[in-house]
Amino acid sequence: MTNTSPRPSIDRDAIIRILSSNTPDAIEAVRRQAEQILLTHCGNKVYYRGLVEFSNQCACNCLYCGIRAENTSVRRYAMNEAEIIEAAQWCAQAGYGSIVLQSGERKDEPFVAFVENVVRRIKRETVSTDLPQGLGITLCVGEQTEATYRRFREAGAHRYLLRIETTNPALFARIHPAGQTLASRMQALEHLHTAGFQVGTGVMIGLPGQTLDMLADDVVFFHRFDIDMIGMGPYIPHAATPMAGWPNPDWPPARAFQTALLMVAAVRISLKDVNIAATTALQAMDPVGREKGLQFGANVIMPQLTPTEHRGDYLLYENKPCIDEDKSECRRCLERRIQSVGRTLAINEWGDSRHFARRTAEA
Ligand code: 5AD
């Protein structure tokens, strides 16, 4: 296949200008530009990925995260294989097309083998006339070895989310324990590429000490790493974490939220054909935060499929929405939300990012 659209170049100054928009008119102009680019390069469909947070057991100690290993006030859980398969069946029958399996990070062999096996079973057991290749599977289970990534890919998962959190080395080091490095996170993203995944990453917005320059560097990084999918949201302090008490004078919550929307727009305007999620963290700060995410250029929503009994234990941050709604209510509610912003819900489609198709056609 010949490809006529060259990879867009990236204009860091333009990104900074977008992120600095601070009047309603300027923000609306950016929003409209992002929406236009979205409609031109991706169409008006919104893709669903049913989200199953299957375990909150975690070996990491990220200083911002509510399920960090050292938070002893969390009740730990792990869904069993049958529960995850049941959620996957529901997801397929509801027409969502894709599922995301997310958990805390563990690298031990029993965990890796469990995930591998569950992926294989979901692939096998969700094939139907509506979904001839079964559900599209996205994994989000942290940094793993290249060999583990290959096992997951071979089992049938084809997308992977691993946020870089921030590409600023000093800021990354401040918000993570000494053992976790930016270099190894970048290496993991490279391994995901070579293992053949569609690769998703993203950052938190409004971290103490974070600047608009750093956020612009993050967008340049997404471009340089040829990332296919982006998930970003405002940083929301969690009381049972070391960062809860850190002063954050530059980022009152309303600014973090607004800048997160502008980051969605900046990514859409500069990367054009990637998939961007309207994240739950946006909704945690504004009852219509996810709809706003869609209006600023996002095209993916991840409805909750985690069983209600576990949702209260998967709180990465406080004020997480939808923790009491069951999954059928969640589906109806989201459909209304998508229609309210003039977009169409895609049914029984994987909804792979067009960027991935282009990247592989060029290779
Ligand atoms: N606020 C916002 N996002 C958070 N995450 C973790 N903790 C927080 C928080 N306190 C995000 C991280 C992680 C993703 C799964 O959730 O970006 O990669």
Give the residues across from 100 on adjacent strands: 51, 138
41-50, 61-70, 147-156, 326-335: segment of lowest average pLDDT: 326-335
Q: How far is the CA of 108 from the centre of ligand 1 (A)?
A: 22
Can you tell me the mean pLDDT for 122-131? 96
Give the nearest ligand 1 atom to 102 CA.
Answer: 15
CA 49 to chain CA centroid, nearest Å: 10
Rounded-to-integer distance, Cα 61 and Cα 68, Å? 5
166-170, 232-236, 336-340: segment of lowest average pLDDT: 336-340
18-32, 214-228, 329-343: segment of lowest average pLDDT: 329-343
> Residue 5 pLDDT more than 80?
no
> Residue 244 pLDDT more than 50?
yes
Q: What is the pTM of this model?
A: 0.95
Q: How far is the CA of 26 from the centre of ligand 1 (A)?
A: 29
Can you tell me the mean pLDDT for 199-223? 98
Hey, what are 335's tokens? 């459909």
**Most ligand 1 atoms within 8 A of CB, residue of 55, 65, 167 to mutate:** 65
Q: What is the DSSP letter of 59?
A: S
Reported as a single tens digit per residue, the pLDDT across 12-28 is: 999 999 999 999 999 99
Can you tell me the mean pLDDT for 51-77? 98
Can you tell me the mean pLDDT for 337-354? 91
pLDDT at 6: 59
Contact 44, 54 (CB under 8 A): no
Q: How far is the CA of 165 from the centre of ligand 1 (A)?
A: 8
Give the nearest ligand 1 atom to 202 CA.
Answer: 17
6-10, 30-34, 130-134: segment of lowest average pLDDT: 6-10
Q: How far is the CA of 4 from the centre of ligand 1 (A)?
A: 38
Reported as a single tens digit per residue, the pLDDT across 246-271 is: 999 999 999 999 999 999 999 999 99
Ligand 1 binding pocket includes 165 (Cβ within 6 Å): yes
Using pLDDT thresholds of 50, 70 and 90, give the confidence band for residue 313.
Answer: very high
> Residue 360 pLDDT more than 90?
no
248-262, 296-310, 333-347: segment of lowest average pLDDT: 333-347
Q: What is the CATH number of domain 12-362?
A: 3.20.20.70
> Residue 201 pLDDT more than 50?
yes
Ligand 1 binding pocket includes 281 (Cβ within 6 Å): yes
Ligand 1 binding pocket includes 99 (Cβ within 6 Å): no
Ligand 1 binding pocket includes 51 (Cβ within 6 Å): no
Ligand 1 binding pocket includes 317 (Cβ within 6 Å): yes
**Most ligand 1 atoms within 8 A of CB, residue of 100, 143, 316 to mutate:** 316
Residues 6+ apart with CB under 8 A from 19: 212, 215, 216, 259, 262, 263, 266
* 272 Rama class: left (phi>0) / alpha (psi -120 to 50) / beta: left
pLDDT at 359: 85
Tell me the domain boundaries of the chain: 12-362
Across the chain, what does the average pLDDT equal? 94
Ligand 1 binding pocket includes 231 (Cβ within 6 Å): no
Residue 28 burial (CB < 10 Å; 0-12/13-18/19+)? exposed
Rounded-to-integer distance, Cα 117 and Cα 100, Å? 15
Amino acid at 44: N
Give the nearest ligand 1 atom to 65 CA.
Answer: 7
> Residue 1 pLDDT more than 50?
no
Q: How far is the CA of 172 from the centre of ligand 1 (A)?
A: 13
Q: How far is the CA of 65 from the centre of ligand 1 (A)?
A: 6
